[in-house]
Amino acid sequence: MIGLITSLDDAPVVEAFVEECGSQLVVLDSLEAGNITELTAVYAATPAMVELAETLQHKLGLRASGAGSVQQRTQRFNQQCALGPVSIPQATLIASETGLAEFVRAQSLPVVVRPVAIGDADKAVLLRHDSEVGSAYRDLANISGEVFAAPWMSGERYSVDLVTFAGRPLVADMRKLRIDEIKGQLLLRHRVSVHDGDPIAESLAAIAFRAVEAIGIVSGAAHVDVVVNADRIYVEEIVCAPRPFHLGVDAAFTAYSHSFHHLLVEALVRSDDFDRRFVRKPRRNRETLACAPLRVFSARDAVSFAGLRFVRRLPGFHSFVRAQSAGKPLSFGSIVGTVSFVSTDAASIMNSLTVLHEMEETDVLFDENAEIVG
- Within a domain: residue 328? yes
Is 230 a member of any domain?
no
| Number of structural domains found in the chain | 3
Determine, yes or no, domain membership for 197.
no
| Domain interval for residue 6 | 2-71
Residues 349 and 310 in one domain: yes
Q: Which pLDDT does position 205 carry in this prediction?
A: 94
Same domain, 36 and 101: no
Does residue 158 lie within any of the structural domains?
no
Closest-CA residue to 289 (of 354, 346, 222): 346
Write down which residue in 13, 36, 71 finishes a domain.
71
368 and 306 in a single domain? The answer is: yes
pLDDT band for position 299 (50/70/90)? low
Rg (CA), the chain: 21
**Mean pLDDT, residues 90-102:** 94
The answer to whether residues 13 and 60 belong to one domain is: yes
| Model pLDDT for residues 29-78, shown as the tens digit of each residue | 444 444 445 566 777 877 887 887 787 777 667 666 665 678 899 999 99
**Are 66 and 101 members of one domain?**
no
Last residue of a domain, one of 151, 166, 198: 151
CA 319 to chain centre: 19
What pTM does this model have?
0.85
In this model, does residue 216 exceed pLDDT 50? yes
Do 368 and 291 belong together in one domain? yes
Whether 37 maps to a domain, the answer reads: yes
Would you say residue 281 lies in a domain? Answer: no
Whether pLDDT at 149 is above 70: yes
What CATH number does the domain containing 133 carry? Answer: 3.30.1490
Question: 74-110 burial, b if ≥16 CB within 10 A, otherwise e?
Answer: bbbbbbbebbeebbbeebebbeebebbbebbeeeeeb
Q: Are residues 319 and 351 in the same domain?
A: yes
What CATH number does residue 339 fall under? 3.90.1170
Whole-number average pLDDT of the chain: 81
What is the Cβ-side half-sphere exposure of residue 3, based on CA atoms within 13 angstroms?
28
The answer, yes or no, to whether residue 186 has pLDDT greater than 50, is yes
Question: Could you tell me if 364 and 296 lie in one domain?
Answer: yes
Last residue of some domain: 135, 151, 167?
151
Q: Are residues 97 and 67 in the same domain?
A: no
341 Rama sector, left if φ>0, alpha if ψ -120 to 50, beta otherwise:
beta
**CB-based contact 80:88 (threshold 8 Å):** yes
In terms of domains, do 143 and 104 share one? Answer: yes
User: 66 and 105: one domain?
Assistant: no
* Per-residue DSSP letter, 153: -
Q: Are residues 370 and 292 in the same domain?
A: yes
**28 within domain boundaries:** yes
* 344 to 194, 239, 284, 312, 356: CA distances (angstroms): 13, 29, 11, 18, 19
Residue 134 forms part of a structural domain: yes
SS (H, E, C) 289-325: EEEEEEECCCCCCCCCCCCHHHHCCCCCEEEEEECCC
